[in-house]
């Protein structure tokens, strides 16, 4: 089954953010029914319709990515920390925004993915997401949109580091520096096996009304 036109645009752009060994899939939320394994349903005991639709679309995208890698579709339940529990040997990340659900998957080190609406963030959120030095290098015009890009990058970094550290880190834990469509994330605080000063690298793009951020460790 081919993705819908908007989903295809997002999927094409997303694939360019990751290495060739990463399978990418994007589906529209609500385009299909919530076909979930019992293990997945059990991880959502109090689900209401909207989160259930997002969850189901994310798992559908994950199974499409598994098929692209030649793997049988298997359950991806949600852990107590709300992170996906991937089958042994696979690493992945799932994100939802703007009616889209996306999954990236590979046999290898952890991945981080974030989708965000391509809209400015309210100025009251800027100092929560960005440090003063980070804000200082962002453009004066469309700064709210630039902060949204920083937010997406930090979310992708968070998802990439969590399987390595098991740590919940805040926005102040990393500093983001953009260079065109790429970004560098420097850890300002150590987290488990990740030392202070460690760097992760990612890419960012815009497609289908969304901001897309990806990190491959």
Q: For tokens 């902060």, what's the residue?
A: 147
| 55 contacts: CB under 8 Å, gap ≥ 6 | 34, 36, 40, 44, 47, 78
pLDDT at 1: 45
Which pair of tokens denotes residue 106? 């590979």
| 81 contacts: CB under 8 Å, gap ≥ 6 | 162
Can you say how many angstroms the Cα of residue 167 is from the centroid of all Cα atoms in its chain?
17
* CA atoms of 17 and 109, how far apart (whole Å): 16
- pTM beyond cutoff 0.95: no
pLDDT (tens, 9 = 90+) of the chain, 217 residues, equals 455 668 999 999 999 999 999 999 999 998 766 689 999 988 886 656 668 889 999 999 999 999 999 999 999 999 888 899 999 999 999 999 999 999 999 999 999 999 999 999 999 999 999 999 999 999 999 999 999 999 999 999 999 999 999 999 999 999 999 999 999 999 999 999 999 999 999 999 999 999 999 999 9
* CA atoms of 172 and 139, how far apart (whole Å): 20
pLDDT at 31: 76
């Amino acid at each position: 089954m081919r993705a819908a036109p908007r989903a295809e645009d997002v999927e094409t752009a997303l694939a360019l953010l990751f290495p060739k060994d990463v399978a990418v899939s994007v589906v529209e939320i609500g385009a299909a029914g919530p076909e979930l394994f019992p293990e997945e349903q059990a991880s959502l005991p109090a689900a209401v319709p909207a989160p259930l639709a997002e969850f189901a679309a994310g798992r559908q995208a994950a199974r499409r990515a598994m098929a692209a890698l030649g793997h049988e579709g298997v359950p991806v339940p949600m852990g107590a920390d709300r992170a996906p529990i991937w089958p042994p040997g696979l690493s992945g990340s799932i994100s939802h925004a703007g009616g889209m659900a996306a999954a990236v998957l590979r046999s290898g080190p952890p991945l981080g993915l974030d989708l965000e609406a391509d809209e400015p963030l309210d100025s009251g959120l800027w100092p929560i997401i960005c440090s003063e030095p980070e804000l200082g290098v962002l453009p004066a015009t469309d700064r709210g949109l630039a902060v949204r890009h920083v937010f997406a990058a930090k979310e992708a970094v968070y998802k990439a580091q969590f399987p390595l550290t098991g740590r919940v880190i805040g926005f102040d834990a990393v500093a983001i520096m953009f260079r065109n469509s790429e970004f560098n994330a420097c850890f300002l605080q150590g987290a488990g096996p990740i030392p202070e000063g460690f760097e992760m690298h990612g890419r960012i793009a815009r497609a289908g009304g969304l901001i897309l951020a990806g990190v491959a460790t």
